[in-house]
Structures are given as C-alpha cells and as structure tokens.
C-alpha cells in the first residue's frame, strides 16, 4: 500500500479546492474574452493598415499612370523595393521595372491575371488590390492593378510595394499577445490572492468545527462579517446553541431521572433493612411491604413515563392512526378516573361533549387526557372541589379542556410547567401517596399533543383554579 505524502496530498487538495477552481474558471473566461478582444482589435487594425496602404498605393498609381506612357515605366517614381508591370491584354508583360526578375514578373502577371482581366475591358477600370508573398523573399507585397490604355491598346498596370514595411502587424500581434499574457498573469495572481482571502473564513469555520467536540459545545465562531460566510457562521453558531442546549437538557434529564429514582430506591433499601434487622410483628412487615410496593409503583410509573418520553424523543411517528372523537376519549378517561376522584372527594364531571373528530393514536391520546384529568384530581385540593372536562369543535381546530376550581398555579411556575421533572411543590406532590407524579406528566401531555400537530395551553391564577386546553387543527 502506498501512502500519499503530505505535500502531495496538499497539492491534490489544492487542485480540488474552490480557490483553484474559481481561479481556473475565472482565468479561462478572461482568456476567452481577451482572445475575442484581441481578435477584434487585430482585425480592425489590420483593416486600417491595409486600407491605409491601399490609399497610398492608389495615390502613387495615379501618379504612375499620369507619367505613362512616356517611357512605359515611371522609374523615377518607384521606390527601391517597388515593382511596376504593364500587362498587355494577352497577359504578356509589356514592361517591367523594379526589383522583380523577369521570371518573377511573369509569376506576378500570372497571379494577377484573375484580378486584372476585368480591367482590360474598361478604359480606366477600378483598382484591384491584393497582398501576396513575393516568391523569393518572405516579404509581403501589396499590389494594385488598374486598367489603362497604352497606345490605344487596353492594358493593365500593376504596382507592387512592400506591405507593412514597418512591421506594424507583427508589433500589433506582439503587443496584444504580451498584453493578454500579462493580464492573465495578473488575473491569476490576483485571483488566487482574492480567493484565498475570501476562503479564509471557511478555513476558520472548518478549524473551529474540527475543534468542537461533543463534550465541549461552548465554542463559537463569532465571525463578525456581514457577508454570506458571516451568515453561514451565524447559522453555525445558532446550530451550536441549539445543540448545546439539547445536550444540556439531555444531561439534566438523565441527572433528574437518576435523582428521581434514587429516593424510592433508598426508601426500599431502608424498609427492607429495617424489616430484616430483627424480629418484627406481622403488622411491621405488612407496613414495610406496603411502603416497598408503593415505592415500587412509583418507580414503575416513572420508568413507564421515561420510556414514553424516550420513544417520542426518538422521533417516533404515530403508527396506529385511527379516526377518533375527542369527546369519546374524554368519556373514557373520566370513567377510568372516577374511582380516584371519589377517593379524593373530587367531583369529576363532563360538560358538553359534541363531536370533535381527530386522527391519531388512541392509546397516546387517552394517556394525554388521563394525565390532565389526573392532575386535576391530584392538585385540585381535596374534598369539595371539582374537575370538569369539555370538548368542542371550532372551524379551525378541535379542543379539549380540563378545568378545576383548585388552588391554581402562580404565574412564575406557568412557563416551566411543561418542563421535564418540574414540580411546583415537590414536598406536596410526593406526600403520602408515593405513587403520584414525578413531574413528567405534563411534558408527556405536551409531547403527545405536538406529535399530533396540536398544542397545550394553560391558564391559571392562584385561588382561581386551573384550565388546561389542548387544541388540534381540524383536518
Ligand atoms: P406530576 O407528574 O408530578 O403530576 P406534571 O408534569 O403533571 O407532574 O405537573 C407538574 C406540576 O404542575 C405539578 O407538580 C403540579 O404542581 C402542577 N400542576 C399540574 N396540574 C395542576 C392543576 N390542575 N392544578 C394545580 N397544579 C397543577
């Protein structure tokens, strides 16, 4: 197995980096634009150079033709490198001057033929021009041809001169090429620098994310910039906030659950030790066993509640969905709890229970209603009080209320009421009836309501009783 060495890995990583790809694309596009621009400039300039050369040649041709036919050649008007030819209508060379050899003159005449034949027909034909390489040298020549009449015969005058003697084409090409390359080099350098700068926050985010471990979620990026990456970092920080809070809740939950189990376990231990310590009367044993059973019941209830919550926390979906009626569920719950109400001297009654249709898990919803009614019975404050259950259907939602005329709940407790293990009065709750609550009842109510798309509200004031309402959107 071969191991990739770190520098090589860095290099590979670089090629896959956004920085590199960004610069690559940017450079490619720029190169394309520069090529198009250079082509445009080159074409325009070459047209201009050629047009200019042609204009000069025409003017010279005017002069040359003006001097004909005196010597059948305007030798004094020609430059050192110029060529002048006079072609007869048969294509033969009538006169040749300048640097061209006889053979070359013939070649030019031949190559000129397709360009010049038209001119013989007219006395003073239009100018034709072309650029060609001269056979021997590599220099380009510009030729102009024009129809003339020599001695009453139509002929064609051809004047050739070095094209672009100052190398304008070449320097233009060089300038464009050098300019483009320089621009590209600057763009690549600048692009890398810019991309590096732009990507630095990403590296910071990556680094921070690497350093954040499950046990230390307190780190934040705190990136101050207002750009997209700042937004990303803020989102990231907000996510960490939520995660940290969730972990804290989880830790608290486990701590609370352990704590909640420790008390009954201790009691069971103590009772058992005491019963085993020596000879006891049957009544003593009975009392000890009674306490143990009651504590055991409490723990069973607690563990059942914890299980319900754990299932709902793990994103459990409603599997046994059926069409239900909140009113019927209310009747069921009331019937189940009538005995408990009687024992507590509480009058448990139902108000109007019109049809309030709802889709959901019967078992869960029944537990939800039961928890609320049971709380009413437990906390209403004893004999003479009453708990009333009502349901209804509004256009947008169906609802169920459980109202009691008990002592009510002080406002500072209301916001925590649905927190897990929250109990308003721990001492009172865990009185002689050890099988009573552990502070999970209402959070289960809330979880079940939410699982069904609903919500729980509570209204209460000390001395005025408490009203819990659960609402579910109607289908
Ligand atoms: P528990 O399982 O201990 O009953 P809950 O989550 O059901 O816990 O309730 C939390 C706290 O809310 C209880 O300790 C109790 O003090 C208070 N509470 C709930 N229902 C009522 C009510 N109907 N009247 C007064 N207090 C209530």
Q: Is 374 in the pocket of ligand 1 (CB under 6 A)?
A: no
For the segment 375-424, what is each residue's pLDDT rounded down to a tens digit?
A: 999 998 888 899 999 999 999 999 999 999 999 999 999 999 999 999 88
- Residue with CA nearest ligand 1 atom 7: 441
Output 236-240 pairs: Cβ under 8 A, ≥24 positions apart: 236/205, 236/209, 240/212
For the segment 18-46, what is each residue's pLDDT rounded down to a tens digit?
A: 888 889 999 999 999 999 999 999 999 98
**CA separation for the pair 287, 293 (Å, rounded):** 10
For the segment 41-97, what is each residue's pLDDT rounded down to a tens digit?
A: 999 998 998 888 889 888 888 888 887 765 555 666 777 788 888 877 776 777 777
**CA separation for the pair 228, 389 (Å, rounded):** 53
Ligand 1 closest atom vs CA 406: 24
The Å distance, Cα 331 to ligand 1 centre, comes to 21
For the segment 96-109, what is each residue's pLDDT rounded down to a tens digit?
A: 777 766 677 767 76
Give the model's pLDDT for residue 415.
Answer: 92
Task: With H, G, I as helix, E, B as strand and everything else as coil, classify residue 388.
Answer: strand
The Å distance, Cα 344 to ligand 1 centre, comes to 16
The Å distance, Cα 65 to ligand 1 centre, comes to 120
Which residues, other chains included, contact 130 with Cβ-Cβ below 8 Å and sequence gap of 6+?
Answer: 112, 115, 142, 143
Q: Is 423 in the pocket of ligand 1 (CB under 6 A)?
A: yes
The Å distance, Cα 360 to ligand 1 centre, comes to 25
The Å distance, Cα 180 to ligand 1 centre, comes to 79
Q: Is 87 in the pocket of ligand 1 (CB under 6 A)?
A: no
Q: Is 73 in the pocket of ligand 1 (CB under 6 A)?
A: no
**CA separation for the pair 160, 59 (Å, rounded):** 13
**CA separation for the pair 88, 65 (Å, rounded):** 15
Give the model's pLDDT for residue 143.
Answer: 83
Q: Is 401 in the pocket of ligand 1 (CB under 6 A)?
A: no
Question: At 431, is the pLDDT very low, low, confident or very high (cuts 50, 70, 90)?
Answer: very low
The Å distance, Cα 152 to ligand 1 centre, comes to 129
Give the model's pLDDT for residue 230.
Answer: 86
**CA separation for the pair 309, 448 (Å, rounded):** 9
Which of 389, 423, 433, 467 for a ligand 1 pocket mutation test, highest count of atoms within 8 Å of Cβ?
423
The dihedral of CA 287, 290, 294, 295: what is its sign?
Answer: positive
Give the model's pLDDT for residue 434.
Answer: 41
For the segment 333-392, what is each residue's pLDDT rounded down to a tens digit?
A: 999 999 999 999 999 999 989 999 999 999 999 999 999 999 999 998 888 899 999 999
Which range, of 168-172, 221-225, 255-259, averages the lowest pLDDT?
A: 221-225
**CA separation for the pair 298, 260 (Å, rounded):** 10
Q: Is 424 in the pocket of ligand 1 (CB under 6 A)?
A: yes
Give the model's pLDDT for residue 162.
Answer: 84
Displacement of CA 294 from its chain's centroid (Å): 56
pLDDT top residue among 74 and 332? 332
Ligand 1 closest atom vs CA 402: 23
> Do 94 and 150 meet the contact criterion of CB atoms below 8 Å apart?
yes
Crossing angle, helix 282-313 and helix 228-276, to 10 degrees?
170
The full set of domains in the chain, from first to last, is 70-164 (3.30.450), 228-311 (1.10.287.130), 317-473 (3.30.565.10)
Q: Which residue in 98, 120, 121, 123 sits closest to 108, CA to CA? A: 98
Ligand 1 closest atom vs CA 305: 2
The Å distance, Cα 382 to ligand 1 centre, comes to 14
The tokens of 42 are what?
């080159």
The Å distance, Cα 409 to ligand 1 centre, comes to 9
Q: Where are the alpha helices (DSSP H) in 102-161?
A: 102-121
Residue 136 has pLDDT above 60, yes or no: no
- pTM strictly above 0.75: no
Q: Is 367 in the pocket of ligand 1 (CB under 6 A)?
A: no
Q: Is 439 in the pocket of ligand 1 (CB under 6 A)?
A: yes
- DSSP type of residue 403: E
The Å distance, Cα 244 to ligand 1 centre, comes to 28
The Å distance, Cα 440 to ligand 1 centre, comes to 9
């Amino acid at each position: 197995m071969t191991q990739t060495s770190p520098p090589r890995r860095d290099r590979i990583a670089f090629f896959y980096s956004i920085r590199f790809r960004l610069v690559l694309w940017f450079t490619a596009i720029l190169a394309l634009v520069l090529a198009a621009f250079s082509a445009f400039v080159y074409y325009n300039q070459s047209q201009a150079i050629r047009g200019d050369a042609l204009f000069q040649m025409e003017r010279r041709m005017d002069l040359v033709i003006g001097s004909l036919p005196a010597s059948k050649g305007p030798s004094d008007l020609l430059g050192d490198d110029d060529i002048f030819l006079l072609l007869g209508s048969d294509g033969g060379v009538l006169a040749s001057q300048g640097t061209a050899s006889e053979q070359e003159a013939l070649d030019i005449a031949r190559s000129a033929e397709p360009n010049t034949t038209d001119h013989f027909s007219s006395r003073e034909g239009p100018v034709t021009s072309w650029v060609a390489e001269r056979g021997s040298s590599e220099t380009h020549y510009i030729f102009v041809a024009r129809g003339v009449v020599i001695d009453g015969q139509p002929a064609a005058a051809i004047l050739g001169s070095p094209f672009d003697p100052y190398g304008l084409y070449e320097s233009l090409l060089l300038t464009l090429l050098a300019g483009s390359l320089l621009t590209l080099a600057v763009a690549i350098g600048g692009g890398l620098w810019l991309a590096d700068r732009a990507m630095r926050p990403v590296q910071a985010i990556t680094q921070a994310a690497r350093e954040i471990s499950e046990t230390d979620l307190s780190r934040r990026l705190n990136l101050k910039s207002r750009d997209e990456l700042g937004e990303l970092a803020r989102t990231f920080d907000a996510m960490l906030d939520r995660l940290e809070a969730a972990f804290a809740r989880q830790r608290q939950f486990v701590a609370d659950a352990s704590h909640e189990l420790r008390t009954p376990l201790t009691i069971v231990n103590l009772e058992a030790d005491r019963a085993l310590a020596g000879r006891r009367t049957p009544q003593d044993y009975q009392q000890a066993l009674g306490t143990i059973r009651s504590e055991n019941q409490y723990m069973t209830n607690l563990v059942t509640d914890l299980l319900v919550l754990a299932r709902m926390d793990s994103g459990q979906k409603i599997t046994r969905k059926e069409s239900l009626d909140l009113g019927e569920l209310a009747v069921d719950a009331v019937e189940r709890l009538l005995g408990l109400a009687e024992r507590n001297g509480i009058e448990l009654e139902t108000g109007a229970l019109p049809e309030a249709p709802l889709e959901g898990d019967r078992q869960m919803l029944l537990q939800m209603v039961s928890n609320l009614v049971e709380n009413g019975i437990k906390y209403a404050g004893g004999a003479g009080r009453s708990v009333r259950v009502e349901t209804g259907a509004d256009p947008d939602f169906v609802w169920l209320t459980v109202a009691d005329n008990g002592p009510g709940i002080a406002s500072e407790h209301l916001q925590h009421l649905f927190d897990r293990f929250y109990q308003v009065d721990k001492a009172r709750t865990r009185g002689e009836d050890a099988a009573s609550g552990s502070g999970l009842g209402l959070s289960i109510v809330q979880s079940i309501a939410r699982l069904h798309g609903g919500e729980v509200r509570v209204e209460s004031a000390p001395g005025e009783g408490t009203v819990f309402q659960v609402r579910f959107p109607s289908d």
